[in-house]
Amino acid sequence: MRVAIYSNDGSTSNKVASQLKAKIKDSDKLNYDGLNPEIVISVGGDGTLLSAFHHYIDSINKIRFVGIHTGHLGFYTDWRDYEVQQLVDSLEDDNGQSVSYPLLSIDIKYKDGGPSDSMVALNESTLKRVNGTMVTDVNIKDEFFEKFRGDGLCVSTPTGSTAYNKSVSGAIISPQFNAVQVSEMASINNRVFRTLGSPIIIPPNEWITIIPDDPYHNILTCDQLLVKNRPIESITYSISNDRIYFAQYRHTHFWKRVSNSFIGVHKDD
Which residues within the stretch 131-160 sit at the binding site for ligand NAP (CB under 6 A)? 159-160
Q: Confirm if 1 and 37 have CB atoms less than 8 A apart.
A: no
Q: Confirm if 87 and 41 have CB atoms less than 8 A apart.
A: yes
Nearer to ligand NAP, 162 or 181 (CB): 162
**How far, in Å, CA of 58 to CA of 131, rounded?**
35
Beta strands in 91-231, from DSSP E residues, in sequence order? 98-110, 117-121, 124-128, 134-140, 143-156, 180-187, 200-202, 208-212, 219-222, 225-226
Kindly tell me which residue out of 56, 223, 235, 236 binds ligand NAP, with binding defined by CB under 6 A: 223
184 binds ligand NAP (CB under 6 A): no
Of 245, 160, 161, 237, nearest to 204 by C-alpha is 237
List residues forming the annotated binding site for NAD(+): 46-47, 123-124, 149, 151, 162-167, 186
163 binds ligand NAP (CB under 6 A): yes
DSSP H helical ranges for the chain: 11-26, 46-55, 84-92, 164-167, 254-262
46 catalytically annotated: yes
Nearer to ligand NAP, 46 or 184 (CB): 46
Which residues within the stretch 76-135 sit at the binding site for ligand NAP (CB under 6 A)? 123-124
Out of 9, 28, 46, 214, which one is annotated catalytic? 46
Q: Between 35 and 54, how does the x/- string for binding to ligand NAP read (CB under 6 A)?
A: ----------xxx--x----
Of 196, 122, 205, 187, nearest to 161 by C-alpha is 122
Kindly tell me which residue out of 224, 241, 252, 259 binds ligand NAP, with binding defined by CB under 6 A: 224
The contact set with ligand NAP (CB under 6 A) reads: 45-47, 50, 71, 74-75, 123-124, 159-160, 162-164, 167, 223-224
Annotated active-site positions, please? 46
